[in-house]
Structure 1
Amino acid sequence: VEMIPQKNLNLRSFTLCMRVATELSGRREVILFAYRTRNHDELHVWRELDGRLSFYLAGDGVLFKVPELGALQTHLCVTWDSTSGLAALFLDGKRSLSKIYRRGHTVRAGGRVILGQDPDSFLGDFDSDQSFVGEIFDVNMWDTVLADSVIQGMFAGKREPRGNVFDWESTELRINGDVKVVTREL
């Protein structure tokens, strides 16, 4: 699934949230979210082979040891701020420790976002062994770091402001491959 952003992904900070469920525990690494420009993997979110969650900004990643994703829906958010370099992960409203990562970096515009598949070139060279199997939905992205209380409110089901980069309720999706889009009330 390709997501069409509502604004450029020229980012110096962001919050990316989604709901995820999978039964691929520990068998292989899987990608949840991939943003790639012509020559670079700009922003990727992975479930690593050892179960850790990670994200990568044009180079080495930052990894978090957290409870494994499973068949029960998990609300997952990633936050990052270029000025401070602070990166954190939220699972079901619980915040990880903060890590300093890619201070001063900017996520460059001009790419494409793919859910559940890793493009090794600009929207091509997919590796089926890295594909996501399960459910990814309610993907929202903001060009700021949201307050912890807002992320916790989203997990708890409160009606929080929708993403200004991606809003799951209105973002255009382009479907490719063996993907089923199911509409249901959140």
Structure 2
Amino acid sequence: MLIWLMLWISGVWGETDMKDKLFAFPKESSTSYVWLLPEYLGPFSEATVCMRFHSNLTREYSLFSLATWRKENAFLLHYYPGKRNQFLLSVDNQDHFYDLQGNNFTEWTSICATWNSSTLVLWIDGTKYTKNGKWDDVNITAEPLIRIGEKPYIYGGNFNDSFVGEITDLNMWNKTLTDENIMDYFAADEMSGNIINWNALYYVTSQDVSIKPYVDPYPCIPV
């Protein structure tokens, strides 16, 4: 808890209902990011993160980073654009690459990543990418630091691969969501994480990050 006390002292602390709001990252920066403070510090033997975002970046960037003092990439979502067009899901410092199918993240995109000891699944706008295997002792046991906007290469240290764009509806659970749960998220149903809850978000902002209204680009129209 000492780490979170230091963040509270050094940053702008808030607990906010972020429904219909977003974080905007307007430009490349080594100092603009958001710490997300979990409601529960673990340990985690499985987890799910869902979020919506868009970006015009043509270089690689990180969307979500959970680091511990033991593991730099305890849970990382990272994108490689262009001809490579790969998404990296790193869990417990083990990298897993997914070849994507013609994605264009310049439009609003919904993404979920979920993992346990036997399955890692990446969902992008309803398309499912699965890797099966056996990962012994996949567990986040040390105190997590969760950040969006930039990826810490060492625990609390240097930063790179900054994100430029907008992020909203970010939730995290300490369980593997079912396919039905994830499709509900894509359909914009009200789903709140028990680790990170977008509708009751604890966060610390740094430098050039702003909160703006979010307007659903694909609203459901009553019949």
- Shorter-chain TM-score tier: 0.7 to 0.9
The percent of aligned pairs where both chains have the same amino acid is 25
SS in 2 for 1:149: helix
The answer to whether the aligner puts 1:153 opposite 2:184 as a matched pair is yes
Alignment gaps of 5+ in structure 1: none
Residue 126 (structure 1) aligned with residue 156 (structure 2): no
- Residue in structure 2 matching 1:38, options 69, 75, 80: 69
Match for residue 200 of structure 2 among 165, 170, 179:
170
Matched, 1:47 2:82: no
Residues 36-62 of structure 1, C-alpha deviation per residue, up to 9 Å, x if partnerless?
Answer: 112421111100252211111232311
Quick one: structure 1 residues 69 and 46, their matched pair in 2 at CA, closer, same or farther if it must change by over 3 Å? farther
State the match for 1:23 in structure 2: 56
Question: Which letter maps to 2:199?
Answer: E
- 1:143 offset after TM fit, Å? 0.8
Aligned pair count reads 179
The answer to whether the Cα contact below 8 Å between 2:69 and 2:142 also exists between their aligned partners in 1 is no
Select the structure with the greater relative contact order (CA < 8 A; seq sep ≥ 6): 2
CA distance in 2 between counterparts of 1:44 and 1:126 reads 14
Residues 152-176 of structure 1: CA deviation (Å, up to 9, x unaligned): 011112223x100111111211111
Q: Which residue of 2 aligns with 1:80?
A: 115
Q: 1:57 touches 1:107 (CA, 8 Å); kept in 2?
A: no
What is the deviation of 1:101?
6.0
| SS state at 2:185 partner | helix
Q: Distance in 2 between matches of 1:61 and 1:38?
A: 18
What TM-score results when the alignment is normalised by the length of structure 1?
Answer: 0.88
In structure 2, give the amino acid aligned to 1:54. Answer: L
Paired residue for 1:139? 170
Alignment pair present for 1:57 and 2:91:
yes
| 2: CA distance, partners of 1:29 / 1:148 | 28
Whole-Å Cα distance in 2 between the matches of residues 152 and 22 of structure 1? 23
What is residue 7 of structure 1 aligned with on the other side? 40
Q: Distance in 1 between matches of 2:154 and 2:88?
A: 20
Code of the aligned partner of 2:204 = R
- Kept after mapping to 2: 8 A contact 1:87/1:101: no
Cα 1:55–1:9 change in 2 (3 A) is farther
RMSD between aligned residues: 1.8
Q: Is the 8 A contact 2:70 2:142 kept in 1?
A: no
Could you tell me whether the CA contact under 8 Å between 1:52 and 1:68 is conserved in 2?
Answer: no
2:10 maps to: none
* Alpha-carbon distance in 1 for matches of 2:190, 2:75: 27
What secondary structure does 1:153 align onto?
helix
Secondary structure of the residue aligned to 1:121 is: coil
Assess, with a 3 A threshold, how the Cα gap between structure 1 residues 174 and 100 changes in structure 2: closer, same or farther.
Answer: same
Tell me the TM-score normalized by structure 2: 0.74
